[in-house]
Amino acid sequence: MNIGVPKETWPGETRAALVPDGVRRLAKQGAQVQIECGLGATIGGADSDYAAAGASIATDRRALLASADMVLRVRRPPPEEIEWLKPGAVHISFLDPFNESELLRRLAARGVSAISMERMPRITRAQSMDALSSQNSLAGYVAVILAAAHLPRIFPMMMTAAGTITAARVLVIGAGVAGLQAIATAHRLGARVEACDSRPAVEEEVRSLGARFLKLDVGDTGRSQQGYAEVLTNDQLLRQRQSLKRFCAQADVVITAAQVFGRRAPVLLTAEVLDAMRPGSVVVDLAVENGGNVVGITAGEMTERHGVKIIAAGNLPSHVPVHASQTYSANLTALVEEFWDGSGSFRMKADDEILRACLVTHAGNVCHGSPSASPPG
């Protein structure tokens, strides 16, 4: 099987889908890996490093995609490149299937079997393939570093000859993978950390990382079988915002990481909440690529409202592309190895619980597991 890995062309994307170690693992399985020239330029990986691991280097992007039985990449393919793909090829990347129904239809029409890394199930067998978790964990780390860089005070308590400097107060809203990493990072930097989540079940995880869990009175809430937060009612959202106003007013840093899988992120920091915050405080919105938790933000921008800095950077894993690429490459490689057979090909077992969850196009159709699929008749 010929596996093709093109460079990323998405604006601001610095990750590479495969690192040399991933090439080495796939070549050991008998795959022929071909990468586009310069694939590892943003992560310090020279073409010679990939060649030494067993890859061949392509200078013609279109030819690389046209000859590949499998394509590995980070972002979804540009529409014009879908026609370059070989009918029957397997395409694996983040595809944003909840919002890209037209893209899925075009992939299906081309006869491409597309696997969406967003839809990887959170089951024990798929842990090594869970790219959403690996990338979100890095995003949580970067969010805290960005906040520390823009906050006009230090995070830790410090005893000095001039007196005691009190620790900064950090509030993390949403204790998913990104939120938990933000909690852990802020705590390691010496901040006083508090966190809240609509799922009471995460309190133990929050406290184990050294943070105080703030209980919001929003009524009965729950989480899905895979652990994601359930959608709150309008009344619950209103009550949540009212509670957050008081907590945000006391914080030096607020990191928002509240998301609902497959839906637009809820707006939690309204103008009223932001206006209650102290000048000099910092907000980092980790949900910006799904609409954002902060009112009026634009992805990729940093704004200021009455002295409060609001950072909506987006694609935070690309701030640390070496480790983001390393972990994502490991996720992809684990997925390919899981379904690799002894004859040197990828077994498309559509009834497997992993592929059943993340296979969004196959055999000319948008699959039933995709939100874009037609309901059964």
Tokens representing residue 297 in the block: 């933000």
Helix (H) or strand (E) holding 213: strand 212-213
The vertex-374 CA angle with 369 and 376, nearest 5°, equals 85
Confirm whether 228 is a catalytic residue.
yes
d(CA 219, CA 198): 9
Would the pLDDT of 291 be above 60? yes
Model confidence pLDDT, tens digit, residues 4-24:
999 999 999 999 999 999 999
Would the pLDDT of 279 be above 60? yes
Contact 1, 70 (CB under 8 A): yes
The vertex-329 CA angle with 323 and 330, nearest 5°, equals 90
Catalytic residue, candidates 24, 29, 228, 356:
228
Q: Provide the pLDDT for residue 375.
A: 35
Mean pLDDT taken over the chain:
92
Q: Provide the pLDDT for residue 370.
A: 55
Residue appearing with tokens 């010679």: 48
Confirm whether 93 is a catalytic residue.
no
Residue 126 vs residue 227, higher pLDDT: 126
Catalytic residue, candidates 61, 75, 122, 305:
122
Confirm whether 122 is a catalytic residue.
yes
Q: Provide the pLDDT for residue 371.
A: 53
Confirm whether 130 is a catalytic residue.
yes
Helix or strand or coil: residue 263? coil
Catalytic residue, candidates 34, 133, 325, 372:
133
Q: Provide the pLDDT for residue 3.
A: 98
Contact 2, 35 (CB under 8 A): no
Contact 317, 137 (CB under 8 A): no
Residue 355 vs residue 375, higher pLDDT: 355
Longest dimension (CA), the chain: 75
Catalytic residue, candidates 48, 127, 226, 250:
127
Kindly state the DSSP code that residue 127 receives in the 8-state scheme. G
Going by C-alpha positions, the residue among 360, 368, 369 that lies closest to residue 95 is: 360
Confirm whether 326 is a catalytic residue.
no
Model confidence pLDDT, tens digit, residues 89-110:
999 999 999 999 999 999 999 9
Arithmetic mean of pLDDT, 293-299: 92
Would the pLDDT of 217 be above 90? no
Q: Provide the pLDDT for residue 218.
A: 62
Going by C-alpha positions, the residue among 46, 44, 52, 50 that lies closest to residue 20 is: 50
d(CA 179, CA 171): 10
Domains plus CATH for the chain? 2-119+320-366 (3.40.50.720), 139-319 (3.40.50.720)
Model confidence pLDDT, tens digit, residues 174-206:
999 999 999 999 999 999 999 999 888 899 999
Lowest mean pLDDT among 71-75, 314-318, 330-334, 369-373: 369-373
Q: What's the pTM?
A: 0.91
pLDDT-based confidence at 374, cuts 50/70/90?
very low
Going by C-alpha positions, the residue among 8, 4, 2 that lies closest to residue 77 is: 8
Catalytic residue, candidates 130, 197, 252, 285:
130
